[in-house]
């Protein structure tokens, strides 16, 4: 359909007055119309006053879009005509509709940005002179002033969001900053007019627009000494707004506060410390507005909490931006010191905003970041200054800690809270916990003394009326938990008292949330308890009791996991108690899957400190029922219930395999980190050693209990593979169990390696999946001798054959196998690094592997490309030592170079360029002559790798690539520059900015 005015009117009507399907069609067509060259002509017809408001708005929006995105379509000799048309349109719409007038003002600002400084160097002075009542007698004077202010307001805003080239943006910024004195003079003269009692609505709007304009220009960076008069006027406008209903309804106060924020926080303000402190003195009277609003709230009237919150935000923003200056001012007596202390007290008052967050108030949260910045600057101070700051501000942080105790209290009931509100409170309490850590950084032992006193007080009150005072008790426990990471290991005064107090809590009378917090606090102090094991007798009974409750089990299992991780040796006296309770909890069917798995972590760690005979006895009682159940579940027909049962038991076995290790580790050992227990998580390092256990089985060799369990379970795993091989979740869980067994047993698993490899290969043949490849990495990562070499060679042959078969013939859909290819090439890269001799065994098609890696480079999935790159780089690096690899590189290197150039030329995302550069560097190091020949052959093709790259561009690229054999960064820059040329992005502002992140 032709882009005519009539057609466009109909399309706009369709967009605003039809159903969603028709709207989508109209939107698509209108967008195409805006992008067309005809838009420069039809906008003026559609801007006619006789058109509907919807059509006029579309035309004004289109004009702005064309000026921003298609400025290069305007010939310079048409600039003046275009400017005249825009100004005439603004004059035509001076009385509204306001939404159209606003769009036209934004369009004019876009025009100004494109014509500064060459074609319209005096744009701002000319606008100031032109838009005067004397020049526009048909427009009311207040309306003329409003239009001028609207244009001046959107001009800096449009500049901030523009996509001008860097050099052009620099020139335009300089031109705008030259006009700041004239703009400030205009704003000051307007704000000097008292409109608080004016009945002229337009005059009131002019005042508000002047404030908005000030905020916009202040973002450009007005020298702070030049802003002092304006600051006084902005503060006065806030007071005027609170005294006048008409001004208040315009949002004048909020706009003035935003302008003051822009004034006080611009990066250039740090050049004027004295002026910053004077500005603080000008802002402090605004606390009177806060006090007045609070009095209204306490009375029958409702205070304006949004205004109060905005004023607090201004104070906090100033304090955060100039925290170091504020601290320096505290070291000198005088008015500045007094003002800074007032400011800190105001922020403390903000932190103590009345009401329950987030139901009754949301103001207090914004102050929390300031307390971190302040304590961070205090800690970074010189020693002498640090002690002065601590002495001066300790009362503030002590008061803050008491406020945080109050604000962190849980609601008496949450039944009527939405899930969003509950999540907001959870995050808020976490922020409060962080703030408690900042308080500890300043207060140290005095905070522990405060918290312990509050705890004893809350406990005493709970004993008399637990239904009322449990919230205070819970907040004290929450605070102790918060500072656990900060307290020194050798602290021996307050923490023993705190942990000793826990067994005195009347849990049966308290809300469940108190017990949960107590359990979490115990877990948080696990590392400290390891150094003070005498307190275990106070806390272990509490944790064990928690296992019997479905509400408490998540916190109890997590705390037990923390304790058994950090205090494993010290847990031996409590092993029977813990294992007995664990068995009862697991059989009680109250635990969720994650809690069962997490509890197996505790079981494994506790069992590991017992004699082997006791271990086997407990395993027979605790674990063997699950093994027998697993055997039964495997015989059932596949169903959701059977799958859930198998997954639970496999994950429990996996966790036990990871933690039940009776052999001492002289080096740091890697263990699974369990957060929610549903998976094995990522490894963490611990250094705790355990006593060596021995088990003599006939031949006198030491046998790990995990070996015996694995030996028993392997036939069941074979049956699981036969029936469930196509289920990703079960195969992942099974491979994870084997991987953790292998990591625990190390050399001890050798008798079972053939069976484990048979299981792995069988599973992979039936259904290739990444979990099996991750397990294979564990095998090839283990030290091997001549006896195991044939097994490893056979494993590699099978994995390569199956993978190539699975991915061959599906090049068009290779992305479907991206995860598999990622795991596969990571495995191959590891083998090439650790044991490249495996690659020269018979039956491995090295050419097919190399070509598969080459094709994978073209995938959009970055992890697969990264893995293929690692494989190819290691393959090339080893090729000079292994003749079979050398033959492949010489035969297939040409294909690889062709693929690399196509990817660089635009077929791959730019994020992949870093990986591709590594392959070029490896080829240049090991096969420089061949690379030179392959590159020269490739660039001889016309239009390859992109028609945008000239012959000179390609020859320069080849020269720079061949020149660089060591500096990876320089080669990446060469590849990036050539890729930008091939993609047509050279010189684009987007290319310049985004290249910094590649």
- Which residues have C-beta within 8 Å of that of residue 620, sequence separation ≥ 6? none
Tell me what percent of the residues of the chain surpass a pLDDT of 70: 92
What was the pLDDT predicted at 911?
A: 86
**Average confidence (pLDDT) over 549-561:** 96
DSSP assignment letter at 686? E
Q: Is residue 886 within 8 Å of 931, Cβ to Cβ?
A: no
Regarding predicted confidence, which is higher, 363 or 665? 363
Q: pLDDT of 472-528, one tens digit each?
A: 999 999 999 999 999 999 999 999 999 999 988 888 889 999 999 999 999 999 999
Q: Is residue 133 within 8 Å of 141, Cβ to Cβ?
A: yes
**Average confidence (pLDDT) over 929-935:** 95
Q: What integer best gives the mean pLDDT of the chain?
A: 91
Q: Is residue 24 within 8 Å of 15, Cβ to Cβ?
A: no
**Average confidence (pLDDT) over 648-658:** 97
Please state the separation of Cα 774 from the chain's center in Å: 27
Phi, psi (rounded to 5 degrees) for 785: -115, -175
Tell me what percent of the residues of the chain surpass a pLDDT of 90: 79
What was the pLDDT predicted at 696?
A: 40
Phi, psi (rounded to 5 degrees) for 860: -80, -15
**Average confidence (pLDDT) over 339-367:** 96
Q: Is residue 735 within 8 Å of 772, Cβ to Cβ?
A: yes
| Choice among 20-29, 32-41, 673-682, 803-812 with the minimum mean pLDDT | 673-682
CA distance 214 to 277: 21
Question: At which residue do the structure tokens 């967008």 appear?
Answer: 31
Please state the separation of Cα 79 from the chain's center in Å: 46
The domains located in the chain, with CATH, are 1-15+28-67 (no CATH), 592-767 (1.25.40)
Q: pLDDT of 954-998, one tens digit each?
A: 999 999 999 988 888 999 999 999 999 998 876 444 343 344 333
**Torsion sign (Cα): 775, 776, 781, 786:** positive
Please state the separation of Cα 247 from the chain's center in Å: 41
Q: pLDDT of 190-231, one tens digit each?
A: 999 877 666 677 788 999 999 999 999 999 989 999 999 999
Phi, psi (rounded to 5 degrees) for 684: -130, 160
Q: Is residue 479 within 8 Å of 518, Cβ to Cβ?
A: no
CA distance 366 to 313: 7
For 78, other C-beta atoms within 10 Å of its C-beta total 12
Q: pLDDT of 242-256, one tens digit each?
A: 888 878 888 999 999
Q: In terms of Cα–Cα distance, which of 300, 183, 198 is closest to 230?
A: 183
What was the pLDDT predicted at 112?
A: 96
CA distance 963 to 953: 15
Q: Is residue 832 within 8 Å of 871, Cβ to Cβ?
A: yes
Q: pLDDT of 124-145, one tens digit each?
A: 999 999 999 888 888 999 999 9
Largest CA distance in the chain: 112
Phi, psi (rounded to 5 degrees) for 726: -85, -5
Tokens of 259: 């302008």
Tokens of 123: 């744009």
Please state the separation of Cα 390 from the chain's center in Å: 34
Q: In terms of Cα–Cα distance, which of 98, 42, 36, 27 is closest to 69?
A: 36
What was the pLDDT predicted at 190?
A: 94
What was the pLDDT predicted at 461?
A: 92
């Amino acid at each position: 359909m032709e882009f005519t005015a009539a057609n466009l009117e109909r399309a706009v009507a369709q967009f605003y007055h039809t159903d969603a399907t028709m709207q989508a069609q109209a939107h698509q067509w209108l967008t195409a119309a805006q992008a067309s060259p005809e838009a420069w002509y039809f906008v003026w017809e559609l801007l006619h006053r006789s058109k509907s408001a919807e059509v006029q708005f579309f035309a004004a929006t289109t004009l702005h879009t064309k000026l921003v995105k298609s400025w290069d379509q305007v010939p310079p000799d048409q600039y003046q005509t275009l400017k005249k048309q825009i100004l005439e349109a603004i004059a035509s719409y001076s009385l509204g509709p306001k939404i159209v007038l606003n769009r036209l003002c934004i369009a004019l600002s876009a025009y100004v940005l494109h014509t500064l400084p060459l074609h319209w160097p005096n744009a701002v002075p000319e606008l100031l002179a032109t838009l005067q009542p004397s020049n526009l007698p048909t427009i009311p004077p207040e309306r003329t002033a409003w239009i001028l202010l609207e244009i001046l307001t959107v001009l800096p805003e449009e500049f901030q969001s523009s996509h001008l080239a860097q050099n052009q943006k620099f020139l335009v910024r300089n031109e705008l900053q030259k006009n700041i004195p004239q703009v400030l003079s205009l704003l000051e003269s307007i704000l000097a007019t008292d409109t608080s009692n004016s009945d002229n609505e337009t005059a009131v709007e002019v005042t508000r627009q002047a404030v908005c304009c000030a905020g916009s220009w202040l973002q450009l960076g007005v020298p702070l000494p030049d802003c002092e008069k304006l600051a006084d006027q902005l503060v006065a406008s806030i007071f005027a707004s609170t005294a006048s209903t008409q001004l208040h309804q315009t949002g004048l106060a909020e706009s003035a506060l935003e302008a003051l924020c822009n004034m006080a926080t611009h990066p250039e303000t740090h050049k004027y410390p004295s002026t910053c402190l004077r500005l603080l003195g000008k802002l402090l009277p605004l606390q009177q507005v806060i006090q007045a609003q609070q009095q209204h709230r306490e009375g029958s009237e409702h205070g304006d909490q949004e205004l109060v919150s905005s004023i607090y935000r201004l104070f906090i923003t100033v304090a955060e931006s100039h925290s170091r200056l504020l601290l320096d001012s505290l070291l000198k007596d005088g008015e500045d010191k007094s003002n800074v202390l007032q400011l800190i007290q105001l922020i403390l008052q903000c932190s103590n905003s009345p009401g329950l967050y987030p139901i009754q108030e949301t103001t207090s949260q914004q102050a929390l970041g300031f307390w971190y910045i302040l304590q961070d600057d205090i800690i970074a101070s010189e020693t002498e200054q640090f002690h002065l700051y601590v002495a001066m501000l300790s009362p503030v942080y002590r008061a803050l800690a008491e406020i945080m105790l109050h604000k962190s209290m849980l609601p008496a009931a949450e039944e009527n809270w939405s899930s969003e509100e509950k999540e907001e409170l959870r995050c808020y309490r976490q922020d409060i916990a962080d703030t408690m850590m900042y308080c500890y950084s300043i207060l140290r032992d005095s905070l522990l003394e405060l918290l312990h006193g509050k705890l004893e007080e809350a406990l005493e009150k709970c004993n008399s009326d637990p239904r009322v005072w449990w919230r205070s008790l819970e907040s004290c426990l929450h605070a102790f938990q918060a500072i656990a990471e900060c307290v020194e290991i050798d602290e021996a005064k307050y923490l023993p008292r705190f942990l000793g107090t826990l067994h005195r809590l009347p849990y049966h009378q308290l809300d469940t949330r108190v017990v949960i917090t107590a359990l979490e606090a115990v877990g948080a102090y696990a590392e400290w308890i390891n150094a003070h094991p005498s307190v275990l007798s106070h806390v272990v009974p509490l944790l064990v009791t928690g296992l019997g409750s479905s509400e408490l089990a998540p916190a109890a299992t997590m705390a037990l996991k923390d304790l058994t991780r950090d205090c494993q040796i010290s847990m031996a006296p409590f092993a029977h108690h813990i294992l007995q309770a664990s068995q009862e909890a697991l059989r009680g069917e109250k635990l969720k899957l994650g809690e069962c798995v997490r509890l197996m972590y505790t079981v494994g760690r506790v069992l590991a400190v017992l004699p082997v005979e006791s271990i086997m006895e407990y395993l027979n009682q605790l674990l063997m029922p699950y093994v027998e159940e697993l055997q039964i579940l495997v015989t059932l027909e596949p169903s959701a219930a059977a799958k859930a049962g198998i997954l639970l038991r496999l994950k429990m076995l996996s966790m036990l395999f990871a933690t039940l290790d009776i052999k001492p580790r002289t080096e740091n050992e890697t263990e699974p980190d369990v957060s929610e227990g549903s998976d094995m998580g990522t490894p963490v390092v611990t250094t705790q050693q355990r006593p060596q256990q021995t088990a003599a089985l006939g031949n006198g060799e030491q046998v790990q209990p995990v070996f015996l369990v694995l030996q028993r379970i392997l036939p069941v795993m074979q049956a699981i593979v036969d029936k469930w091989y196509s289920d990703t979740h079960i195969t992942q869980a099974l491979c994870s169990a084997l991987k953790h067994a292998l990591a625990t047993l190390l050399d001890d698993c050798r008798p079972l390696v053939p069976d484990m490899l048979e299981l792995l290969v069988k599973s992979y043949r039936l259904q290739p999946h990444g979990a099996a490849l991750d397990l294979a990495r564990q095998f090839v990562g283990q030290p091997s001798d001549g006896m195991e070499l044939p097994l490893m060679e056979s494993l590699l042959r099978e994995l390569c054959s199956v993978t190539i078969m699975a991915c061959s013939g599906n090049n068009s859909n290779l992305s479907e196998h991206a995860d598999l290819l990622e795991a596969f090439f990571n495995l191959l890269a590891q083998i090439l690094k650790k044991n490249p001799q495996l690659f020269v065994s018979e039956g491995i098609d090295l050419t097919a592997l190399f070509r598969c890696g080459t094709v994978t480079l073209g995938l959009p999935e970055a992890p697969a490309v990264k893995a293929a790159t690692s494989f190819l780089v290691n393959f090339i690096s080893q090729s000079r030592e292994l003749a079979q690899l050398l033959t492949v590189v010489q035969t297939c290197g040409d294909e690889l170079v062709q693929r690399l150039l196509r990817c660089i030329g635009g077929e791959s995302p730019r994020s992949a360029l870093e990986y591709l550069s590594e392959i070029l560097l490896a080829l240049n190091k090991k096969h420089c002559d061949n690379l030179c020949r392959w590159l020269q052959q490739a660039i001889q093709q016309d239009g390859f790798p992109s028609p945008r790259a000239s012959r000179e561009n390609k020859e320069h690229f080849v020269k720079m690539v061949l020149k660089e054999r060591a500096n990876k960064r320089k080669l990446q820059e060469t590849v990036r520059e050539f890729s930008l040329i091939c993609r047509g992005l050279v010189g684009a502002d987007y290319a310049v900015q985004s290249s910094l992140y590649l």
